[in-house]
Each structure stands twice: as C-alpha cells, then as structure tokens.
Amino acid sequence: MRSKAITCALVVLGLAGAAASDARAGDLVEFFVVGNGIPEYLSGQPGDPERGRAVAIQRKKGNCLACHKMPIPDQQYHGEVGPDLAGVGSRMPESELRLRIVNPKIANPATMMPAFYRVDGLHRVGKAFQGKTILTPQEVEDVVAYLKTLTDDT
Ligand code: HEC
C-alpha cells in the first residue's frame, strides 16, 4: 500500500516535473511536494489527533494559539494573526495541511507562519535548537490528524 503510494509520487514527479524533492542532511526524512501538498505521511504512519491537539497547544512545540484562534475553549489566549482554524479540515485536503505545517513558505513565501519541519533558513536559532526541527515527523502527522478533525460539523 505504502510502496504503491510512493511509486505514484515518483511517477508524478517524473512526468509533471512540478514536484520538488526535499532531501536534507542529517536525520531529516525525505518528502515529496506534489502540487500544493505533501501526499505521503512524513513518519510512514497516520498521526494521533489527541496527541496533535496537545502539540498544537504546547508553547515550545506547535504554539499555534500564538497566531490562530482554534476551537479549544479551555485555552484562554488565542491569537489573531492567522485565520481561525475552525473548519480547516473541511477547507483544505490533508496533503495541503501537511505542507502548511512542514513548510508554509513553499505555499506562500511571504508568510510569517514558521516552518515546523525544516532546519535551514532560520534566524537566531538558540544553541539547543540548532540543526533541529521544531516538530518530529510523528508530531507533524499528529497535528495534521488533529486538524483533520476540525471540520465544519464539529
Ligand atoms: C507566527 C504566527 C503563526 C504560527 C505560530 C502558526 N501559524 Fe498558521 N498561519 C499563520 C498565518 C499568518 C497564516 C495565513 C496564511 C499565510 O500567511 O500563508 C496561517 C495559515 C495557516 C493554515 C491555513 C489556513 C487557511 O484557512 O488557509 C493552517 C492550516 C495553519 N496556519 C495551521 C497552523 C498550525 C497547526 C500551527 C501550529 C502548529 C500554526 N499554524 C502556527 C501564522 C501562524
């Protein structure tokens, strides 16, 4: 199943030439951008929405509430820099949600939203964080799984 999906991504890459491969040095996993999205799980397996919700709230992890209003009433502070994420699971397909978390600058170079899975091009990175991504591949998948639950029906 998984190998079939990978083959598809590679075929799209070869035929359309529209995709970019993003292999990096170190421990970073390789992923493929197809169109506006990343169709494959970064960690090779689906994420857990409960864990993703926790990652989104944590200030040293997702810290999404710094910029986004989210349907999480037990958290007091919600930012307004970015769009309200309520219903985002209905607005955007999973592959686009994944790209937004991994590196939103691929979709919008001018965005101020941080890239949660990329090590280069960051400024003033504290020593403890040098060479590290903000989220692990599994945490990226957990956040994506959580965002998918934020549909218009919830
Ligand atoms: C520093 C501010 C900031 C942080 C932190 C941030 N974002 Fe964003 N985000 C934005 C802005 C601004 C946009 C608007 C689109 C753009 O700039 O590309 C956006 C857009 C989005 C979108 C697209 C929404 C739509 O309706 O088009 C999603 C999904 C998203 N963010 C999810 C997240 C998640 C999940 C987190 C936490 C892991 C997060 N963001 C953290 C600023 C931020």
The answer to whether position 60 is within a domain reads: yes
CATH of the domain at 69: 1.10.760.10
In-domain check, residue 154? no
CA 83 to ligand 1 center in whole angstroms: 7
Q: What is the pLDDT of residue 118?
A: 85
Query: Which pLDDT tens digit goes with each residue over 42-89?
Result: 999 999 999 999 999 999 999 999 999 999 999 999 999 999 999 999
CA nearest ligand 1 atom 28, residue: 100
Q: Does any ligand 1 atom lie closer than 6 A to the CB of residue 82? A: yes
113 CA to middle of ligand 1, Å? 5
Return the number of other C-beta atoms located less than 10 Å from residue 67's C-beta: 16
| Number of domains, the chain | 1
Phi and psi, residue 33, nearest 5°: -95, 125
The model's pLDDT over 118-142, given as tens digits with 9 standing for 90+, comes to 876 555 666 666 678 899 999 999 9
Q: Name the residue at shortest CA distance from atom 13 of ligand 1.
A: 82
Residue 63 corresponds to which amino acid?
Answer: N
Helix boundaries (H) for the chain:
2-16, 49-57, 88-91, 94-102, 137-149
What are residue 37's phi and psi, to 5 degrees? -140, 175
Which domain covers residue 31, as residue numbers? 2-149
